[in-house]
Amino acid sequence: MGMRFTDRGEAGRLLAAALPQFRGRAGTVVLGLARGGVPVAAAAADALRLPFGALPVRKLGVPGHEETAFGALAWSPGKVVRVLNGPLVVRLLELGFPQSSLDRVEHDGRAELERRAGQYPGTRDELRDRTVILADDGLATGATMRAAIEAVRRAGAARIVVAVPVAALDAQTSLEPFAEAVVSLFIPGGFRSVGSYYRAFGQVSDDDVVRLLRAR
């Protein structure tokens, strides 16, 4: 069965215990990838006595195979950052996927991302010269986290630490060149879905995110 977390809150507290060097450190903020990473970030930030916020992200799923990401989007103040899996996009086009279908996925994703950015309090907070801890509930492919890293880097973050409760090994290693540190509490063999490592893994709604942000 491997490690199982009770819920995202417990996972966030365990992450905080693995990051004692950041407790109360000035110039540091915890950002949760919205939506599922926000409860993780809230619990971690509370334990570390740090401010926290939400970073809207959006996976770009292959039409008809939405769990397979051909890229991802992330919100950077005032703009949307896109990261593509170039070889996969080329392969999809070779297989006959029309470019227009991929463009439609991106168009819809951008609209949703901008909607969330407008709704979530604090998504325009200043990140320049700060240490940013990017938290999510897990890494399956690393696509959305890669976009998140690029977004906060463009926003001027001085140092980026990725922190997740569970990660696929390939996702972990793919991110290591792009962040100062990637901290994963558990890297299972034969990775399944992120949710399979939690006892409670319900959907996180926009209302949940707004409630957590307003309580900060």
Residue 197 has pLDDT above 80, yes or no: yes
Question: In which band, very low, low, confident or very high, does the pLDDT at 105 lie, cut at 50, 70 and 90?
Answer: very high
Question: In which band, very low, low, confident or very high, does the pLDDT at 3 lie, cut at 50, 70 and 90?
Answer: low
pLDDT digits (tens, 9 = 90+) for 110-158: 999 989 888 888 755 689 999 999 999 999 989 999 999 999 999 999 9
Question: In which band, very low, low, confident or very high, does the pLDDT at 79 lie, cut at 50, 70 and 90?
Answer: confident
Supply the pLDDT for residue 91.
92
Strand partners, 52: 30
Supply the pLDDT for residue 166.
96
Nearest to 142 by CA among 163, 172, 162: 172
The answer to whether the CB of 157 falls within 8 A of the CB of 180 is no
Residue 73 has pLDDT above 90, yes or no: yes
Residue 103 has pLDDT above 90, yes or no: yes
Cα 12 from chain centroid?
Answer: 13
The answer to whether the CB of 5 falls within 8 A of the CB of 11 is yes
Question: In which band, very low, low, confident or very high, does the pLDDT at 42 lie, cut at 50, 70 and 90?
Answer: very high
Nearest to 55 by CA among 193, 152, 185, 164: 152
Largest CA distance in the chain: 52
pTM of the model: 0.93
Q: What is the mean pLDDT of residues 190-201?
A: 92
Supply the pLDDT for residue 30.
97
Q: What is the mean pLDDT of residues 15-38?
A: 96
Supply the pLDDT for residue 125.
61
Q: What is the mean pLDDT of residues 180-203?
A: 93
Q: Poorest-confidence range of 78-82, 197-201, 207-211?
A: 78-82
Question: 176-195 burial, b for 16+ CB within 10 Å, e for fewer?
Answer: eebbeebbbbbbbeebeebe
Q: Residue 97 phi/psi, 5° resolution?
A: -65, 125
Strand partners, 182: 162
pLDDT digits (tens, 9 = 90+) for 140-150: 989 999 999 99
Angle CA(124)–CA(127)–CA(132) in degrees, nearest 5? 115
Q: Tokens for 15, please give them.
A: 């992450």
Angle CA(120)–CA(155)–CA(160) in degrees, nearest 5? 95
Mean pLDDT over each residue of the chain, to the nearest integer: 92
Question: In which band, very low, low, confident or very high, does the pLDDT at 76 lie, cut at 50, 70 and 90?
Answer: confident
